[in-house]
Amino acid sequence: MNNVHGMTDTSTSHRVWIGFLSLLFLPVSGDAQETQPTPPSQLWMCSLDLQTGISTKLFEFTHLESVGSPRLSGDGERIAFEATLHGTQAASDSHVWVCNTNGSEMRDLGPGAMPTWSPRGKRIAFCKRSPEHGVWVMQADGSHQQLIDEAGWCARWSPDGNMIAYTRRVNEAADFVIFNLVEDEFFPVFGDGRSGYSSFYWNFVWSPDSKRLCFKGNGPDSEIHVASVAVHNGPDVQVHYRGDDTIRADLAWVDNNIVAFTRTTGEDKRNQLMTVRTGVQQPAVGNAPLPLAGQLQNHANRSPAVSRDGRILIYISRSR
Amino acid sequence: MEATKLRFLSECYEFGSFNRSHVTMSAKSGRAPFSGPPKGIRSCRFCRRSEPGCCVDRLSTRTTVVDNTYFKRRRSLGTFQRMRSFPLILAGLCCCLPEQSVAAPPTVEQVNSALDVAVMAAKNGLPRLSLEALQKSLGNGPPTVSTVPPDTKIVYQGARVNTSIPVPKPPLEAIRDRIPDTIFGLSAFWKQSAQAEDVYLALRDVVLPPGRRTEAFLYSLPMKVSRLQPNRMPPTESVAQALVVWAKQADQVNDLHRHLEERNLKDSPEGILLVLLIALEVRDQAAIDEQSARLLQLLEGGTNRRTAEMVAFVGMNFQRAGHFPNVAAELLHHAGLTIAGLDLLEPEEDSPARAVLLSAARSRFALGQRAAAVELLKQYLTVKVEGKYSTSSPGLDSQKLETVGRELYRRGMVGAAREVLGQVNADAFERRYRAQGLLGQSTSPSIPGTVAPSATRPATLWAADDIESRPAVANQIWFCSLDTETHISKLHFTLPDFQNAASLAVSPDGSEIAFDATFPGEAMTSDSQIFIAALDGTAIRSMGRGTMPSWSPEGKRLVCSRYSPSKGVWIMRAAGADAQLLDESGWSARWSPDGRLIVYTRQQHGRSDPVVYDIVEDEFFSVFDGERNPFQQISGNFSWSPDSTQVAFKATTSPAGTNNAESQIATAFIFGTARPSVAYQQQGYFTAAVEWTPSGRRIVCSPDLPLYGTERLHYLETHRLAEPVYIQGQEADRRNTSASWLPDGKTLVYMSRPVRK
């Protein structure tokens, strides 16, 4: 007997059997899944091609934890980051590590955090916790360490190589201090407690032209700002985004107009890379942060850093 | 797949020394890839016998002879998936390594293969395999035999011998550097993924090989000083030190002690050094005293260079640890004397003798042992240095004299300085340094007859507005500016007090001029001072002794050359404070426009070599690398191109002192391998000062052309050899030199002097 669709009863029974059989091959759930252990999440170093918007996994961190602050060397061949050895060091005892971009030749350079490369990759500036607290510079192999400022924290080498910026309290107020290596002099960006911020967070970033610093700061009324300030010719502060403590401190200047940062989003408090435009003075509708296109989906992504040529963004990603 | 089969496959596939021997194998299915009678000479790779029924028959049941070339061509192994079986291959390779029961040491090739295995295993995350490869290959000590013919290769390029490519090291020498290099490189991997005890056990078998129960091998990297910093102790490492560190980490120091005692190495330098390293690590004062005394006894009895360098290295470790200064001083002292003595017999390029002796002398000074320190400085002066072109040169000797003189005079040891340097050299030194008070508090009375130039003579200048007539100041040095667009020259001020002046440099903001000058009766260069004058002629101040000043990009600092307080290139604040010696062997420095680089000359092996210091990266490098330097002498007064990529300079291709030598103005790229370009050449002398135009297309110089009878300002093309072009508007009938641009990019400031009579 044909039904209205021109199909016989026998085809219906075939479909039932096909459907029944297909159920056997569906991914099992429930009791069957309980027999398979949930794979542990993996921690990856990833790179995002900013032109194609495609992310690739560079390597996996198998023996390290508390990994953060990755930075690409000027030639794009090596990555410096901070981490602790799994099970052997406390999170506060981070070390500076360097490796090739494929994860090979990973080397521990000793205690330290938040490394930043010189332009040609021969030296690294970083900071240490007590008892040797301060901003330091060393050769890229970890030798010849020199203290720059024992009261400083979180150094960032400018793209042109002539300056190292770091945070420090100047006249009882949060400030950025610029160390000019060529002229061998230090100067505060704000000075005299004029920053208006109670604190500046770590992992701020230089603009590609070495003229501005973009940072996360605690502004008035404990409001969190993503803002930038001119280094020379008077502190010219531009606030790009006002948010809350879901914004993490890791920032990256993607191009002349866009800054990326990490934000904890969603009910599952997952880290995501967000972008905001820097061309506007006041954040308003239209400058809300947008997710960075091309980052790995269903992963917790954080700690962005951009290569010197502005084509690659590396970040740390944890699989769910 | 049976391990045996894998063993054969691995050996054919990986070791690759495909001689004409044949290896038998068992095919997986029993059928060989192809069969046939053996070709060529057949010998077994295991027992090296050339007869049937040796190891082969014992190891396989069904045998078929194949040609090794099969494996060369066919990289795949049939159904044997390479990637999946890679760990098995590595395991098989380890089976092929020399067993510890074999008494003979391995060959160089075997150790090289083992090191390759260790590195491969590390890259594939196999720490135990990596350690085992080292353990097994070096379990009988380091290699002593190479199967490669001893003749080193000469590299041909086309029809000529290419001498720019270094001749490869002999295999034995190369492997002795490769072993510690590989181990240090793998240490980072082991820290992450290996157990400390496993690493300790492997390194223990490397340093104290089970097959050589009465010996120890420290595997230290050779100590090579940087040619640019011959007085700086080079970094070096040894596998023995790594062993001690791992022993401490694995809590196996006692075990290491026990192994050392079992070997009865008390009388060998290696054993004593090893015990010393352990004692330093655990801060055992008694053991340090005992072992260091025994080591010094051994040194006095004579030893080889590597051991002496190792002693120096241990001495530096003690010095840096800061806990045992006496021990550090003793070790450095004797190591330095030993290395210097070996250099006398057989000079070695880049020998650390000078650095070790200087460190030893400073250690003695620090302990107040002045007599011993002076003896070391005397030895320092006699050190024979092996160079590419000669074993000594006037420049090299003067460097050593300067170094020793500086060490003694700054400690006020004038009498000792006279004894060590000799009368003539001491007089010259004192003349240069007395004005700066370098001679210290115990200065001896000056010798009658010497002339002490005054450093406090006041300098004045006459502003142009105060000059009534130019003829009245015709014999003085003029500072003028020339607008290169309107060709109008303007007098700013004159220097009535000075005999000579040169090296004019306008400050970045255009408000001041730095230059060097001498008063009448003073010697040019050694007695010259650096002055900074306001461009409008309202003020002048002295920066002290020095010559050839050059501003940093923001005008906060100056780089210059000085004889005192120590000869060399110095950096200081524009106010004169915080002077730092950059290079004691450098001269005539110039700061790049972008501020990152400082170029200067350095005398090496009888030639001038331009050297660049990268301030940001804190590294020095030579512009010309050995063969690429076509010049014998490079005069100072460099000029940078506006983009900081090239330098212009005056040079000669003739040795110093050659009469009427041809001089050239040349340009060279700082980075890259391009040869320098010549923009101008002239027989005879002319002022060395050159200045790149802001556009980057031309250079200003002052050739002495017959048309004018004296030096006048001219333009040169940078990209081709062409006739110089006279710059219109400059002061007529005067000798015009030493130009520098104002920030407007069109006004040239220059010095104008009366024509030489």
B371-424 pLDDT tens trace: 889 999 998 888 876 554 444 444 556 667 877 887 887 677 778 888 888 877
The pLDDT of residue B441 is 34
Task: Calculate mean pLDDT across residues A151-171.
Answer: 92
The pLDDT of residue B159 is 46
The pLDDT of residue B150 is 54
pLDDT tens for B494-516 read 998 888 999 999 999 999 999 99
Residue A125 has which token pair? 């500036």
The pLDDT of residue B323 is 65
* ipTM at complex level: 0.82
How far apart (Å, rounded) are the C-alpha atoms in residues B727 and B487? 8
Residue B385 has which token pair? 């240095």
The pLDDT of residue A177 is 94
- Residue B184 near residue B147 (C-beta atoms within 8 A): no
Q: Per-residue pLDDT for A161 more than 60?
A: yes
pLDDT tens for A179-198 read 999 999 999 999 877 888 88
| CA-closest candidate to residue B751, choices B457, B511, B514 | B514
The pLDDT of residue B12 is 40
Strands B735-741 and B747-753: antiparallel
The pLDDT of residue B227 is 59
Q: From the centroid of its chain, how far is CA B84?
A: 46
Angle, alpha carbons B82-B85-B89 (nearest 5°): 95
pLDDT tens for B60-98 read 333 333 333 333 333 444 444 445 555 555 555 555 554
How far apart (Å, rounded) are the C-alpha atoms in residues B40 and B36? 12
The pLDDT of residue B599 is 96
The pLDDT of residue B630 is 81
Angle, alpha carbons A234-A239-A242 (nearest 5°): 150
Closest CA of chain A from B402, distance in Å = 26
Residue B625 has which token pair? 């690398």
A116: which strand partners?
Answer: A125
The total number of residues shown for chain A amounts to 320
The pLDDT of residue B499 is 87
CATH architecture of A39-319: 6 Propeller (2.120)
Residue B110 has which token pair? 């075997």
Using the structure block, give the residue that is written with the tokens 């990297």: B221
Q: From the centroid of its chain, how far is CA B421?
A: 27
More confident residue, A136 or B268: A136
What DSSP character marks residue B303?
-
Q: Which one of 3.90.1150.10, 3.20.20.70, 2.120.10.30, 3.40.50.970 gives the CATH number of domain B594-726?
A: 2.120.10.30
Angle, alpha carbons B616-B619-B621 (nearest 5°): 125
Closest CA of chain A from B582, distance in Å = 14
Within an 8 Å CB–CB cutoff, is residue B235 touching chain A?
Answer: yes
- Residue of chain B whose Cα is closest to the Cα of A64: B192
Return the CATH fold of B462-584+739-757.
Answer: Neuraminidase (2.120.10)
Q: Which one of 1.25.40, 3.40.50, 1.10.3910, 1.10.10 gives the CATH number of domain B214-380?
A: 1.25.40
Give chain B's radius of gyration (CA, Å): 34
The pLDDT of residue B174 is 82
Task: Calculate mean pLDDT across residues B285-304.
Answer: 82
| CA-closest candidate to residue A234, choices A279, A183, A197, A187 | A187
| CA-closest candidate to residue B211, choices B116, B132, B271, B135 | B135
Task: Calculate mean pLDDT across residues A70-91.
Answer: 85
φ and ψ of B136, to 5 deg? -75, -40
Q: What is the mean pLDDT of chain B?
A: 76
Sheet of A258-265, strands arranged across: A247-255, A258-265, A270-277, A290-291
Least CB-CB distance to B616: which of A64, A104, A181?
A: A181
Least CB-CB distance to A182: which of B192, B578, B596?
A: B596
Domain range annotation of chain B? 3-143, 214-380, 391-442, 462-584+739-757, 594-726
- Residue A45 near residue A70 (C-beta atoms within 8 A): yes
The pLDDT of residue A36 is 55
Residue B582 has which token pair? 């950059």
Residue B453 has which token pair? 């130039």
pLDDT tens for B241-270 read 889 888 888 888 888 888 888 887 767 778
pLDDT tens for B2-17 read 444 434 444 443 333 3
Residue B12 has which token pair? 């054919």
Common-topology check for domains B462-584+739-757 and B594-726:
yes
The pLDDT of residue B736 is 94
Put simply, the answer to whether A118 touches B552 (Cβ < 8 Å) is no
pLDDT tens for B143-181 read 888 876 655 454 444 444 444 445 566 788 788 888 888
Measured CA distances, B471 to B255, B642, B731, B751 (Å): 91, 38, 13, 17
- Residue B383 near residue B345 (C-beta atoms within 8 A): no
Query: Which residues of A touch chain B, with CB atoms under 8 Å apart?
Result: 62-64, 85, 104-108, 118-120, 122-123, 139, 143-144, 161-162, 180-185
pLDDT tens for B414-470 read 788 888 888 778 877 776 555 444 444 333 333 333 333 334 567 888 888 888 888
Amino acid letter for position B749: V
Residue B8 burial (CB count, 10 A)? 21
Residue B118 has which token pair? 């260790």
pTM of the model: 0.58
Using the structure block, give the residue that is written with the tokens 């560079």: A58
- A84-115 as b/e, with b when 16 or more CB fall inside 10 Å? bbeeebeeeebbbbbbebebeebbbbebbbbb
- Residue of chain A whose Cα is closest to the Cα of B579: A184
Residues 6+ apart with CB under 8 A from A221: none
**pLDDT bracket for residue B680 (50, 70, 90):** confident
**pLDDT bracket for residue B682 (50, 70, 90):** confident
Q: Per-residue pLDDT for B26 more than 80?
A: no
pLDDT tens for A140-150 read 999 889 999 98
Q: Collapsing DSSP states into helix, strand and coil, what is residue B381?
A: helix
Residue A289 has which token pair? 């942060």
Q: Per-residue pLDDT for B594 more than 90?
A: yes
The pLDDT of residue B234 is 66
| CA-closest candidate to residue B586, choices B597, B599, B596 | B599
What is the percentage of chain B residues whose pLDDT exceeds 90?
23
Closest CA of chain A from B594, distance in Å = 9
The pLDDT of residue B164 is 46
Put simply, the answer to whether A185 touches B556 (Cβ < 8 Å) is yes
The pLDDT of residue B103 is 57
Residue B235 has which token pair? 């970094």
Environment class of B540 (CB within 10 Å of its CB; exposed 0-12, middle 13-18, buried 19+)? buried
The pLDDT of residue B553 is 95
What DSSP character marks residue B423?
H
What DSSP character marks residue B229?
B
How far apart (Å, rounded) are the C-alpha atoms in residues B204 and B225? 29
More confident residue, B677 or A187: A187
Least CB-CB distance to A182: which of B125, B235, B553?
A: B553
More confident residue, B36 or B725: B725
Least CB-CB distance to B192: which of A63, A120, A139?
A: A63
